[in-house]
Every structure is written in C-alpha cells, then in structure tokens.
C-alpha cells in the first residue's frame, strides 16, 4: 500500500493548458496574465488592490516596507508560525517580538499582544494560522489607535472567511501564499493586498527593482514611446511570472470547490475520530470559518510522545506532520522571547497535522483514523 501524503495540490489539465498557452504566447515573465490574476484575486477578496509577487515571504517583505517598518522598530508576531513571518520583520532591520497564541485557534489575541506593545511597536503581524481566521478587528482596535499597522499574514487563508468576508479583506495590508502546501497554488507565488492606491503603486515598483515604468507597460507602449524609466528607491526582484499567473487564474476558479471539499473531509475526520479525540481537533472560531489548510490535532493527555506517534503512523503508511513550528525555538531567534510562551510551546510540541487534500478518499481517511487510534493505543 502506498503512503498517504499530508498534502497533494489539486492540479489538472486546465492548469497545464493555461501554462502552455502562456508559453506559446511568447510572454512568460510578468505581463498580462499577472495583471489579470491580480484583478481576479482583488475581485475575489473584494479589495481595491492586489500586487502579485514571487512568494508570501516576499509579499510580507513588501508589506513591512509598506507599513513603514525599519531599523529600530519592533513588530509583534506569533512565534507559532512558519518562520517566514518573523524573517520578514528581520529583513527590514526591525525586531520580531514574540507573542503567545490562543490555544483553540493558534492565533494572536488582544490579550497576548497587549503586554508586548511599546513605544517602538510599528506593526503587528496577525497570522491566520493553518487557515483559521484571526480576529483582526479586535487586534486592530488595540493597535491602530497607537499609530501601528496590523499586517495580516494570510498565507494559509485563501478560502477562509472572517466576519462574512474573505480572510484578509479587511486588513490594511495582507499577504497570501500560493506554495503547493497551501490550497491555491502557482508552484511558488504570493500576493500582497492593500486599501491605498498610492501604496499599491509603490509596492508594484518595489517588486520590480523600483522602476517607475514596468517592463510590461513599456513593452505595451505605456508612458509614451521611448519613455525612459527612473529608479527612485531601492527595489527588489519579487516578480511573479505569467506562467505562474496563468495557473493561478485556473486555481482561483477552483478555490470554492477546494474549500468546500476540505471542510467536508474535516467534518468527516471529526466524526471518525469520535468526540474524545476530536476535542483536540482545530475547528471554526466564533468569528469565521477556516479552509482547514492545516488540520491539526492536539494529542490527548497521556498519549505517547509526538515523535513516537508520527513514527507509528509512518510505519502504517500515513505521512502526518509535526504541528506548526515555533520560531523562538529555532537558532536565529533562540533566547529572544520577552515573555513565556506556554501555549505556543504546547501546541508546537503536542500537535500533529493529518493528511487532508482534495483527492483524499473516504477509505484513505478511515485508514488514517484507524492508524492514529492504533498509534495512540485506543
């Protein structure tokens, strides 16, 4: 029997055709398909501006610059997140300040953020961990009156809903990932969204070396024939390609079906696990719904060591994963936490992520649950 992986992207002939069409068009770098993907993504979210980039990490990097974060500033982030959340803060010379999270959602709350705010706090990065929407309004109400910006790390959250709107839609700045570990994938890719038109224009320049006229616009004759571009600040090459955007356009159309399927499979896991075990399963918060990008399970008290459980599952053909990492336990950030992070340390040590993907069959699900119950001695 072949191993059940933790994730398989839902890609098909339509994506292959769209990528091939981009190649055949002769325009493979950032161009018309990137522009179309940006418009479609902004429309999906109901936000005015979406700027496509090479990853969520580069989206977060630009969001930090857009929020005015620089050397000497502090940015409150959850330690319980993929390390790119903290790294983006470090890239701009600022200091990530690690806050603890809520045990049920894995997300920052006003209570965990408040004790860490100082005169130097320039921003807070609110993550939708594993797709669970963070309570953005509650954090913004705490942070914005102080003149700091809330940046939403919605890397995992395409398809999630917060207070009736797509997750991230209400943020000043939000960053999304299209890595294959997330729902909607372009291979590598990301998007940064914002409310302000001038900021969006600046982010577009920053992703392309700081150029005043993009290469695609110059090619299309915008800015006047023979327009010479200028470079008014230091930019980056954070561009997405048209091949990626072509795939993204198809994937965006499939997002509602992807999300519905994951939610259906998550509900079925809950039933199969039984009330006792399912008590440790991540679920919807009161203020929204998750896309179950990561379906994590907190091991019950008395369960064997998590490494032992993962090894037993692997031996049974199930490729589960450790839970979300904690940045403050990794070498670059070791010893930097200013407050104890007990919930973070419990979740990172005692959760595991179960296989969940569009083509997961009911039979495979039953096997995963049987293997898990055996691994837990139940």
Toward ligand PLP, which CB reaches closer, 128 or 372? 128
DSSP 305: P
Minimum CB separation of residue 290 from ligand PLP in Å reads 13
Residue in 314, 276, 281 with CA at minimum distance from that of residue 298: 281
In the complex, what is the shortest distance from the CB of residue 154 to ligand PLP, in angstroms, rounded to a whole number?
8
């339509």: which residue's tokens? 14
Smallest distance from ligand PLP to CB 293, Å: 8
Indicate the residue among 107 and 121 with the shorter CB distance to ligand PLP: 107
- 3-class DSSP state for residue 94? coil
| Cβ distance to ligand PLP smaller for residue 57 or 214 | 57
How many other C-beta atoms can be found within 10 angstroms of the C-beta atom of residue 72?
Answer: 10
Q: Which is nearer to ligand PLP, 55 or 244 (CB)?
A: 55
Q: Give the separation between CA 230 and CA 221, rounded to whole angstroms.
A: 16
Which of 182, 254, 334, 373 is flagged as catalytic?
182
Q: Token pair for residue 13?
A: 């002939």
Instruction: Please state whether beta strands 149-153 and 74-78 pair in parallel, antiparallel, or not at all (unpaired).
Output: unpaired
Binding site for ligand PLP (CB under 6 A): 55-57, 81-82, 84-85, 127, 153, 155-156, 177, 179, 190
CB of 189 to ligand PLP, least distance (A): 7
Nearer CB in complex with ligand PLP: 79/149: 79
CB of 82 to ligand PLP, least distance (A): 4
Tell me if residue 182 is catalytic. yes
Which residue is it, tokens 């499979």? 265
β-strand pairing of 288-289 with 296-298: unpaired
Compute the half-sphere exposure of residue 54: CA atoms within 13 Å on the CB side of its CA.
11
Which residue reads 């998550």 in tokens? 266
Tokens of 94: 């600022």
Minimum Å gap between C-beta 133 and ligand PLP is: 13
* Angle ∠(362,185,245) on CA atoms, nearest 5: 145
Q: Phi and psi of 121, rounded to 5°?
A: -65, 115
Are the beta carbons of 91 and 75 closer than 8 angstroms? no
Q: Which positions ≥6 away from 335 have C-beta within 8 Å?
A: none
Pairing of strands 74-78, 121-127: parallel
Residue 261 Cβ, how far from ligand PLP at the closest point, in Å?
20
Nearer to ligand PLP, 243 or 375 (CB): 243
CB of 7 to ligand PLP, least distance (A): 12
Quick one: how many helices (H) and strands (E) in the chain?
Answer: 12, 13
For the chain, how big is the Rg over CA atoms in Å? 21
Q: Please, which residue, 112 or 365, has the CB nearer to ligand PLP?
A: 112
Q: At what angle do helices 13-25 and 242-278 cross, to 10 degrees?
A: 160
Q: Which is nearer to ligand PLP, 84 or 266 (CB)?
A: 84
Residue 331, number of CB atoms within 10 A of its CB: 6
- Catalytic positions, written as ranges: 182
């Amino acid at each position: 029997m072949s191993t059940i992986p933790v994730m398989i992207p839902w890609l098909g002939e339509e994506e292959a055709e769209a990528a091939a069409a981009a190649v055949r068009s002769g325009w493979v770098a950032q161009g018309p398909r990137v522009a179309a993907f940006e418009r479609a993504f902004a429309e999906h979210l109901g936000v005015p501006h979406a700027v496509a980039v090479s990853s969520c990490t580069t989206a977060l990097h630009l969001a930090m610059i857009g929020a005015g974060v620089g050397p000497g500033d502090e940015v409150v982030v959850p330690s319980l997140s993929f390390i790119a959340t903290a790294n983006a803060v470090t890239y701009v010379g600022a200091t990530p300040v690690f806050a603890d999270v809520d045990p049920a959602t894995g997300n920052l709350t006003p209570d965990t953020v408040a004790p860490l705010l100082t005169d130097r706090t320039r921003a807070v990065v609110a993550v939708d961990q594993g797709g669970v929407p963070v309570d953005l309004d509650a954090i913004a109400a705490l942070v914005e009156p102080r003149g700091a910006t809330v940046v939403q790390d919605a890397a995992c959250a395409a398809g999630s809903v917060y207070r009736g709107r797509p997750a991230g839609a209400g943020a000043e700045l939000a960053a999304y990932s299209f890595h294959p570990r997330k729902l909607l994938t372009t291979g590598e890719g990301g998007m940064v969204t914002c409310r302000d038109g001038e900021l969006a224009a600046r982010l577009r320049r920053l992703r392309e070396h700081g150029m005043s006229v993009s290469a695609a616009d110059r090619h299309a004759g915008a800015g006047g024939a023979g327009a010479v571009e200028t470079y008014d600040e230091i930019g980056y090459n954070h561009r997405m390609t048209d091949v990626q955007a072509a795939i993204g356009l198809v994937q965006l159309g499939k997002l509602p079906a992807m999300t519905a399927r994951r939610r259906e499979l998550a509900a079925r896991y809950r039933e199969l696990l039984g009330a006792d075990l399912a008590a440790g399963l991540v679920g919807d918060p009161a203020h929204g719904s998750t896309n179950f990008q990561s379906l994590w399970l907190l091991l019950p008290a008395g369960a064997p060591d998590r490494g032992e459980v993962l090894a037993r599952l692997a031996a049974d053909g199930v490729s589960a994963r450790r839970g979300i990492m904690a940045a403050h336990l990794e070498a670059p950030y070791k010893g930097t936490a200013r407050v104890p992070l007990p919930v973070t340390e419990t979740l990172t040590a005692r959760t595991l992520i179960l296989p969940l993907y569009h083509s997961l069959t009911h039979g495979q699900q039953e096997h995963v649950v049987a293997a898990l119950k055996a691994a837990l001695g139940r």
